[in-house]
Each structure stands twice: as structure tokens, then as C-alpha cells.
Amino acid sequence: MISLLGRTLVLAGLGACAVGAVAGFVGGARKDADALRITRFMANAFGALMIAATILMEVALVTHDFSVSYVAEVGSRATPLHITLVSLWSSLNGSILFWGCVLGGGTLAFTRHVRDHDPQHASYALGSLLSVGLFFAFLVAGVANPFAATEGVIPTDGPGPNPLLQNHLLMIIHPPSLYLGYVLMAVPYAMAAAALLAGRLEATWMRLLRRWMLFAWAFLSLGILLGGWWSYEVLGWGGYWAWDPVENASFMPWLTATAFLHSAMVMERQGQLKGWTLTLAMSTFLLTLLGTFMTRSGVFNSVHSFTQSSIGPVFLGFIALVLVASVLLLAARMDALTASDTATDEGVVSRESAFLLNNLLFVAFTFTVLLGTLFPLIKEALTEERISVGEPYFNRMSLPVCVGILFLMGVGPSLPWGNTTGARAWSRLRLPLRAAAVGAVIGAVLQAGPWAIATFAASAFALVVTVHELLEPAQARVTSLGESLPTAFLAYAARARQRVGGYIVHLGVIIVAVSIAASSTFKVQRDLPLTVGQEVSFEGYRLRFDGMRTDTEPHRTAQVATVTVLSDSGTLGVLEPKMNHYKQMREPIGTPAVRSGLKEDLYLSLVRVSADGTTASVRAMVEPLVAWLWLGGLVMFGGALFSLWPRGRAVVAASAAQVAPGDDGAARPAK
Amino acid sequence: MSEPTPSSPAATPPGGLSARQRRTFLVGSVLVALLALGGIASVDMSENLVYFWEPRELYAAGDDAYGAQIRLGGLVKEGTLQWDEGAQELKMVVTDGQADVTVHATGAPPQMLREGIGVVVEGTMTKEGVFKTDRLMVKHSNEYRAPQEGVETKELYKTVEGLE
């Protein structure tokens, strides 16, 4: 019953997409209002149908309807309800349905957004978006159909989702966040395609495009961060990033999207770089498709790729199609757009130059990651030899770029748009450079490596500039209006959301950079043999093994080691690293225990336990500042949301009443 | 029009760059940078390759095997697993049925390590003929069924990667 209904919903969505896509392109080409009306209706229908199909799948999961093949694959009566709900994205077919659901939701929102926009742009954009939707609806209806009826005898119970995915609550928010980031990149892509098809790009369209990109970027950032956090909390190796192909897959579109957000600022301000900016928007979507392909087709094997599936070739075909269409569009229409690029008078020492360099670095970064990620695939395809590119490659290639980007985060905002003199630039950079020296000295005193020292220096440099940029306008209000500093800052921030939000994101990036440098440089790891009742010293802690315990839950049993953490000042707490035994799996899966603090984390991972439970081996690690990584990531996310938050009416009225800097802090307070 | 900046080189036309010059500059510098980067990257990559080998492939590589970063996959040979708890040292023989490699690992072995099970160890081959590793991964079944003994070793890599 659910199989049939679900399939019907998906097929109806597929039909709506097909009609809507054709109507959209026709409406764009003929500037036909009726066609646009049809497109909008079909877009709404597609969105509603995909969401309905997803809700239906959730109903099937919750009611344990094992006649639906996907439920039979991932469902289990013993699995707790919240895990059952998120089983939707715990295996291939469900995750593709979820992709379609997010795209449907995005389509609904976007259809509302374009109501007041240029009809031709709206037609083309919806047509492009529905073309993407068409592909995913096709996947859900065909090769990755989660609603297929279970073959043979319908089982009374199922295996439940992959135990690794049941081990932590982060699994509930990491995938949806990443999906929002990945999937919604389709909207900027469609908008860029619309601008190229129409051969013109107005400021209002660009602004909407940038806001969609920023929204998707915020969730992609959050998703990547949560993925790292999950890896840290669940996998037991004490790290959060390993340059795994799957991680790289999510990182590459993040890099190009970040480059886009910066080049879009140059474009909106100076009317330049239109073609380049649109190229970045389109590349970002292509990279998310590549990422989805890499994680879902089984070419790379990780916790993300479920089983071998026939989805790969179809996906590759689609990527090739989008790539060719994008290149052709850009080649044919770039000139129409860039003809209106305005000649400006900025010199070499200007904010634009810093942005250009920033873009170069981000693209270079993307390129090196792409090379290292795809090389093993190409090599295996050609020689059947299996290799991988080691972490040292990625670290060596990325460190200089990262330090360069951090440094530019300080240089760019210090330079005015247009033109400046070397002397004036120097006067603005003197204080940040002193801070950089302090950062370098701190790194050197702590005996960090050269790249960690460079990271600390660049971070200190960028930090001083960022804080200065955030406080300077508020300071100006304090001087001119006599407000207190917090009041002045809030009043200013409310009216310059984009600017303030951007600098908050920069603060988050600095925090993340310092945390990564510190936690990777000063990490200490040791395997400790423990005997019941005995204390072991480790990095200033004393660890006492109090014995083993067995916890029984419906879907698993856990061997729990109780380790009391002591310091010279007394007992700090109890850590309980576990080994979980799931019913359907022969091998146990560990869950590490972490004592997290602002200064450092103590991380214990249970490696083995003797048969009688009197001795155990624990992998112990101390990682400084690692908690700041999650905090910094949340600051980045918060900054992006702050930037996106719609301006309240009161604020708009208030700022209209005053002569003040524009939304993006256009005018630097006059000196 | 603003005056030319004192700091900018003479090549900059008075009044700065035109849109077309800027585009040419951008495209050119991107190309040059990517080419240079591609060169550096390929050299660096070739120095950091990790080879996925089975014991017989390791021997087939001859002297090339020494010092290279290798992920050696195979089964733990019956009767060869020795774990010295005091020294935290593990010795075993990894086999693919045709060739055997003696492996010395440091650190506690995972709970599920036992004889006959598939493992992947990452490390280097020494001239003494001993494979040294500090990274041991046990074949992990994602498929919810008991792994068959004597499983195709190529398949091992697929189920262990990503779990580390």
C-alpha cells in the first residue's frame, strides 16, 4: 500500500518537474507570463509531492512496514524511535529521497522568493532548478527507489540502521545540515544559469543569489563541522579530519562557495567579475554533485557509502551533462554579461586586489584537494592498482594556502576599496603586524612547528583587524552620539547586518584555525594498559580503572569501562569508554569517552578488554583547545545567520530616518 | 580619476586597470597558478602515495617496497598471533594464501582481532623482512552477516576504510 502510494507521489513529482522545466525554459525564452504561471505551479507541486513522499517514508519507518524494501533494509523494531526517524538517511535509497525532499523544500521557498523578481529570470531559474529536480525524482523513481516492494516473504523484523550511525546524537543533525548545504547549492546554480540565459544580471537578482548561497554555505559549514565532531566523538581515533575522500567531497564546494561569497562582494560593489562569480556559483553546485556521487556511488568506501549500487554511472552522466551545459552557457553568454562591467580606477593596493588573491587561493586550494581526491580513482581505472594519497600531501599543500587566507583576512578589510597609498595601508597594518609578532612568539615559546607558528601569527593579525573592523563604527557612534559602547555596537550591528555578520564569521574562522593548529600540534597519544584498582599517570592526569560493567539495551549491549580521572587537586570525574555489541553485528563498536574543557580534552577509547574484565587497554589522548573548534564553527554559523536575518521593520524605519552607512557598511566612518 | 599610486609598478596604466585587463590578469594568473600548483602537487603526491598491497604484491615490488607507505591487506595466519601485554607489542603473520609477511605492530590490538580474520595494516617494510605498523584495522562487516573466512582480500579495503 505505502509502496504504491509512495511510488505514485514520486512519479507525480517527476511529471510536475518535467512539465515545469519545459514551461520554465519556454517562458524564459518567450517572456511568456502564462508559461511562468505553469512553471510556478509545477514547482510548488514538485516541492509538495517530494515532501509528501518523504513523510510517507517516515510513516512506513515508524510503523515498521517491512513490505517497503527500504524499511526492510534499515528498520528494526528494537531501534529507538528517534533513530528510526533518522534512518531515512542511513542508507542509499532513503538518502536520495531525502535529497529530493530538501530540493523540494528549497524549490517551494525559492518559488515564493522569485514572485517579485524579473519574470524572465524567474522562468529560467525555475526551469533550471526543476531540471535538477527531474534528475533526482528520476533516481528516486528508478535506480534508487526506496518504495520498492520487498521481494519474497515480508520479514517480521529488520536489521536496523548501521550501528555507527546509531552511536551518537550528532548523527541526527549532521546529515540534514549537510544536505541543506549540498542540495540548496542547486538554487544559486539555477539563478546563475538564469542570468546567463537571459544575458543580464541585475543587482536585485544578484543579491537574492548571494543570500541563497550564503544560506546554503552556512549549513554546509555547520554540516562539515558536525561531521568532524561526530568523527571525534564516535570513531575513537581522536581526530576530526583525515582528508578522507568523503570529507574532501564536502570541503571542495565549501571552498568555491566561500570564494563566491567574496567575489560577489566585489561584483556587487564594483560591477566587475560577473562571469567569474557566476562560474564559481556553478562550480560549487557541480562539486556538490561530484561529492554526492563520490559518497553515494560506492567508488570510495567509507561510513558514507552504503553498498555498491547502480547509481554511479547515471550520476556520472548527469554530472557530465551539467558540466557541459554550464561550460557552454558560460562560453556563449559571458560576453553579454561582462560587456557591462565597469572600468574602475582601483590600484594594485586595494581591497579588490586582496579579494582577487583570496579567490586565487581558494581556487588553488580546491584544485589541490580535487587532484589528491581524484588521482587514486583515475590511477585505479587506468592501471587497476589501488593506491591512496596520504595525508601528508594534503597537509603540505593546504598549510601555506590556509596561512595565506588567514593573512588576507587581515589585509583585505584593512585596505579601502579603490585606491590607497602604500603609506596609508602601512599605517593601518602596523598594529595587526605587532599582534602577529606576538602570536609568532607565543607559538615559538610553546615550541610549535613552523606552520603552527605561522598560523598563530596570521590568526593574531586577522583577529586584531577583525575586532577593529567590528568596533570602529561603534566607537564612532560613541564619539559622535555619546552612546555607551555596547549600545552603539548593537545599534550599528542591527543596521549593518551583512558587514557585521561577515566579520563574526571571520572571528569563527580564526577560532577554528587556532584550534586546529593547537590540537594537531600539541596532541599527545598513548596506549595505556590498565588493571583494576590501579592508577596510571598520563599528561598530568591520574587514571584509575575501577572495573567493567555491562549495560543492556534493547538493540545493544555495552561493555563499559569505568575510569576515574584524578588530578593533584582531587577527583575530576569519571569517564566511561564503551564497546557496543549490536545484535546484528559480530564485531563490537567502541564509543570513546571525552572530558572536554576549554583548555584541553582528555579522550579515552577502549581498545580491548580481557575475558575476565580485570585488565583493559585504553588509548588515551590529550588534545588542547579542541573544544574551540566546535565553538568557532558555531560562531561561523551564527555569523552567517546574523547576516541573513531579515531586517525588522522598526530597524529599517530607524535606519531610513538616519543618514548612516548602508546595509553592508558601505561607508567607512569618515576620519 | 585618482592619481596613480606611488607603490604600484609602472606597468599599471594611470587610473588603474580596465575591466578587460583585469579579466585577462585574472584568467592568466589563475592559469599560471594552477599550472604551477599542478606541478608541485604531482611531485608531492608521488612522494605521499599509500599503496594497497597484498603480501604477494609486496614481494613483487622488490626493493621498491622498502620505505614506501603500504596498506597491507590479508588474513591473520592461524597460530601466529602473539600479543605481549607488558611490552604492548603484537606479532603476527599476514597471508594472502600465496605469500606470508611477518608483521610487528605497536599498541593494543582491537578487541575483535583474532586468527583467521581479515586485517589491513598500514606501515612500512623493513630490510629485515618485518613489516612494522602502528595502525591496525580489522575487517569490519557493514553488511550484517558473518564475514566468510578466506574472503577476497581486495574486498578488505572496502570495509575497513573510513572506520579509522
Task: Point out the residue among A305, A372, A385 whose CB comes nearest to the CB of B45.
Answer: A372
- Predicted local confidence at residue A595, as pLDDT: 95
Type of residue at B121: V
Q: What is the mean pLDDT of residues A298-321?
A: 72
Q: Sorting pLDDT into bands at 50, 70 and 90, what band is A648?
A: low
- A82/A272: higher pLDDT: A82
Cα–Cα distance between A314 and A141 in angstroms, integer?
13
A470's CB contacts (< 8 A; 6+ apart) are: A489, A500, A503, A504, A507
Interface test with A, best of B3, B137, B161 (most A CBs within 10 A): B161
Distance CA(A120)–CA(A125), nearest Å, equals 8
Q: How many residues does chain A have?
A: 671
Per-residue confidence at B19, pLDDT binned at 50, 70, 90? low
Contact: B19, A343; criterion CB under 8 Å = yes
Confidence (pTM): 0.88
Q: A343–B8: do the CB atoms touch at under 8 Å? A: no
DSSP H or E stretch at residue B130: strand B130-138
Among the partner residues A159, A388, A588, nearest to B112 by beta-carbon distance: A588
Question: Please, are residues A394 and A243 in contact by the beta-carbon 8 Å criterion?
Answer: yes
Among the partner residues B15, B37, B161, nearest to A301 by beta-carbon distance: B161
Would you say residue A670 has pLDDT above 90? no
Whether residue A59 lies within 8 A of chain B, CB to CB, comes out as no
Do residues A516 and A629 make contact, with C-beta atoms less than 8 angstroms apart? yes
Q: How far apart are CA A38 and CA A46, in angstroms?
A: 12
Among all residues of chain B, which has the CA nearest to that of A303?
B162
Q: At what angle do helices A92-113 and A186-198 cross, to 10 degrees?
A: 50
- The strand pairing partners of A617, in sequence order, are A529, A608
A positions 579-608 inside 8 Å of B (CB): 579, 584-588, 607-608
Span A555-580, mean pLDDT? 91
Between A640 and A91, the higher pLDDT residue: A640
CB pair distance less than 8 Å for B26 and A356: yes
A26 Cα to chain B: minimum distance (Å): 33
Most confident region among A41-55, A309-323, A478-492 by mean pLDDT: A41-55
CA pair distance A283, A507, nearest whole angstrom: 27
CA pair distance A453, A474, nearest whole angstrom: 32
* A159 to B144: CB separation less than 8 angstroms, yes or no: yes
pLDDT bin (cut points 50, 70, 90) of residue B69 is confident
- When mean pLDDT is compared over A74-78, A391-395, A595-599, the highest value belongs to A595-599
Query: Amino acid identity, residue B129?
Result: G
Write out residues 18-77 of B within 8 Å (CB-CB) of A: 18-19, 22-23, 26, 29-30, 33-34, 37-38, 40-42, 44-45, 47-52, 69, 71
Under the banding of pLDDT at 50, 70 and 90, the label for residue A584 is low
Please say if the pLDDT value at position A129 is more than 70: yes
Mean pLDDT estimate for chain A: 88
CA atoms within 13 A on the CB side of B146: 3
C-alpha cell at B77: 595466519
Give the pLDDT mean for A222-247.
88
Stated as kind and residue range, the H or E segment containing A633 is helix A627-644
Rounded to 5°, angle at Cα A356 from A420 and A430: 45
ipTM for this model: 0.70
Instruction: Flag if A396 and B71 touch (Cβ within 8 Å).
Output: no
- What chain A residue is nearest to B154 in terms of C-alpha separation? A386
Q: How many C-beta neighbours within 10 Å does residue A654 have? A: 15
User: Is the per-residue pLDDT at B3 higher than 50?
Assistant: no
β-pair partners for A466: none
At B13 the pLDDT is 45
A389 reaches B (C-beta below 8 A): yes
Please name the member of B26, B41, B164 whose beta carbon is closest to the beta carbon of A237: B164
Q: Which of A74, A248, A273, A345 to mutate to test the interface with B (most CBs of B within 10 A)?
A: A345
Confirm or reject contact between A617 and chain B (CB < 8 A): yes
Q: Please check the confidence at residue B63 and state whether its pLDDT lies above 90.
A: no
A76 Cβ partners below 8 Å, 6+ apart?
A84, A157, A158, A159, A160, A161, A555, A584
Q: What is the reported pLDDT for A144? A: 87
Section A352-376 average pLDDT:
91
Rounded-to-integer distance, Cα A39 and Cα A28, Å: 10
Q: Is the pLDDT of residue B99 over 70?
A: yes
Q: What is the mean pLDDT of residues A550-571?
A: 89
Q: Which H or E run contains A131?
A: helix A119-141
Question: What per-residue confidence (pLDDT) applies to B147?
Answer: 32
| Range 130-159 of B in CB contact (< 8 A) with A | 138, 140-144, 146-147, 154, 157-159
Q: Does A607 sit within 8 Å of B107, measured CB to CB?
A: yes
Which positions in chain A touch B116 (Cβ < 8 Å)? none
pLDDT at site B144? 32
Q: Is A603 helix (H, G, I), strand (E, B) or coil?
A: strand
Return the C-alpha cell found at A489.
555596537
- A176 near B CB under 8 A: no
Q: Which residues of B touch A372 (CB under 8 A)?
A: 41, 45
The predicted-structure confidence for B77-87, as pLDDT tens digits, reads as follows: 988 988 887 77
**Res A540 pLDDT > 50:** yes
Of B111, B140, B141, B154, which to mutate for an interface test with A (greatest number of A Cβ within 10 Å)?
Answer: B111
Q: Do B154 and A386 touch (CB under 8 A)?
A: yes
Of A282 and B137, which is predicted with more confidence? A282
Q: What residues of chain A lie within 8 A of the CB of B142, using their CB?
A: 162, 306
CA distance A74 to chain B (A): 11
Say what the pLDDT of residue A669 is. Answer: 38
Q: Do A588 and B111 touch (CB under 8 A)?
A: yes
Cα–Cα nearest to A88, from A109, A68, A67, A113: A68
**What is the C-alpha R_g of chain A?**
27
pLDDT for res A511? 97
**Between the CA atoms of A206, A207, A213 and A217, what dihedral angle is there, to the nearest 10 degrees?**
140
A249, A251, A257, A261: CA torsion to nearest 10: 180
Nearest CA in chain B to A609: B111
Is B9's CB within 8 Å of A304's CB?
no
Distance, CA of A163 to CA of B142 (rounded, Å): 9
Pairs from A544-552 (Cβ < 8 Å, separation ≥ 24): A545/A616, A545/A618, A546/A574, A547/A613, A547/A614, A548/A609, A548/A613, A548/A616, A551/A578
A391-414 and B19-47 helices, crossing angle to 10°: 150
Q: Residue A337 corresponds to which cell in the numbers above? A: 554579461
> Higher pLDDT residue, A653 or A74?
A74
CB contacts, 8 Å: A587 with chain B = 112, 138, 140-141
> For B29, which residue in chain A has the nearest alpha carbon?
A360
Q: Is the Cβ of A486 closer than 8 Å to some Cβ of chain B?
A: no
Name the pLDDT band for A301 (thresholds 50, 70, 90): low
Residues paired with A589 in a beta bridge? A580
Cell of A386: 589501488
Q: Beta strands B130-138 and B100-106: pairing type?
A: parallel
Strands B118-125 and B130-138, bridge-based pairing: antiparallel
All three cell numbers of A493, joined, read 550591528
Nearest chain B residue to A362, by CA: B30
Q: Answer for the pair A443, A457: CB distance below 8 angstroms, yes or no.
A: yes
User: Is there a contact between A341 and B19 if contact means CB atoms under 8 Å apart?
Assistant: yes
CATH class of the B50-160 domain in this structure: mainly beta
Question: What whole-number percentage of chain A has pLDDT above 90?
Answer: 60
Kindly state the average pLDDT of the residues A40-61: 97
pLDDT, tens only, B20-50: 676 677 778 778 878 888 888 888 888 888 8
Closest Cα of chain A to B17: distance in Å?
6
The mean pLDDT value for A204-216 works out to 95
Q: Which three cell numbers stand for residue A367?
A: 584544485
CA–CA min distance B30, chain A (Å): 6
Range in A107-116, A283-292, A511-520, B52-61 the model is least confident about: B52-61
- Please state, in angstroms and rounded to a whole number, the distance separating the CA atoms of residues A110 and A439: 45
Residue of A nearest to B123 (CA): A390
Q: Determine, for residues B47 and A393 on separate chains, whether the beta-carbon distance falls below 8 Å.
A: yes
Given this model, what pLDDT does residue B135 score? 83
> CA–CA separation, A650 vs A491, rounded Å?
12
Least confident of A308-312, A523-527, B78-82: A308-312
What is the grid cell recorded at A258? Answer: 566561500
